[in-house]
Amino acid sequence: QQQVKQSPQSLIVQKGGISIINCAYENTAFDYFPWYQQFPGKGPALLIAIRPDVSEKKEGRFTISFNKSAKQFSLHIMDSQPGDSATYFCAASRGSGGYQKVTFGIGTKLQVIP
Amino acid sequence: DTGVSQDPRHKITKRGQNVTFRCDPISEHNRLYWYRQTLGQGPEFLTYFQNEAQLEKSRLLSDRFSAERPKGSFSTLEIQRTEQGDSAMYLCASSFGDSSYEQYFGPGTRLTVT
């Protein structure tokens, strides 16, 4: 079963616009919510992350909004640029035997057009 | 380059053949993970090593799959009697420390089974 649901699967945004990707989870044991960015031919790279005791985290043009009661979180990319074109994965992790076991969403392919 | 490296980057093999992939984690990272990523999906956890000990294996890791991490440094993932369903990107990640919230991914090995 899909423990982390992500939408949309693809997104086209004009340069300068706002990109929004949404995720939802079921398991309340998750205690860390990272977002990964993946370019073609590369492995995923951590972009930004949030813990469930915080409702929002901002790093530059990237913001995570977190709603613990609804078990939902989202990534907002402000002033989207063509260089942001990539696949974005939301994820949720929980401690398991001393490490964080990460469950990924299906991914959102973002295309920013000039 | 001090990131996670994987070799080979691409592997084409015929069904029934054995293949072996190598992962070199970031120096001094004591935790190492293998994931599988199929087209249009997020990475799925396969197995986890803390130093040289393999501490967790996913149900996705059938008996045809074996992973090792001798001396707690590099790791190998072997697939025996490959099947077309094994075609995927195999990603390695590493992390350090007790918290290990951030995992650093390598570029992956893309396997095609014909």
Which stretch of A4-13, A70-79, B96-105 has the lowest confidence by average pLDDT?
B96-105
Interface mutation target, options A50, A57, A100, A101, chain B, most CBs of B under 10 Å: A100
Q: What is the pLDDT along chain B (114 residues), one digit of tens a residue?
A: 579 999 999 999 999 999 999 999 999 899 999 999 998 899 999 999 999 999 989 988 899 999 999 988 999 999 999 999 999 999 999 998 765 678 999 999 999 999
**Given CB atoms, is A55 within the 8 Å cutoff of chain B?**
no
What separation in angstroms does the CA of A20 have from each of A7, A10, A13, A34, B97? Answer: 9, 11, 10, 15, 33
Q: Looking at residue A2, what is its pLDDT?
A: 66
Pairwise CB contact (< 8 Å): A107 & B108: no
Please report where in the chains the tokens 């025996």 appear, as a residue: B80
Instruction: For residue A19, give the nearest of A71, A69, A86, A103 by alpha carbon.
Output: A86
Q: In the predicted model, is pLDDT for residue A20 greater than 60? A: yes
Pairwise CB contact (< 8 Å): A98 & B48: no
What tokens appear for A62 in the block?
């990237």
What separation in angstroms does the CA of A60 have from each of A22, A34, B43, B84? Answer: 19, 16, 26, 43
Which member of B4, B56, B103 has the closest CB to residue A102?
B103
What tokens appear for A74 in the block?
């989202």
Pairwise CB contact (< 8 Å): B107 & A91: no
Which member of B42, B99, B106 has the closest CB to residue A104?
B42
The proportion of chain A whose per-residue pLDDT surpasses 90, expressed as a percent, equals 86
Instruction: For residue A43, give the nearest of A86, A85, A13, A7 by alpha carbon.
Output: A86
Cis peptide before A8 (omega within 30 of 0): yes
- What are A49-67's pLDDT values in tens digits? 999 999 999 999 999 999 9
> Is A93:A4 a contact under the CB 8 Å cutoff?
no
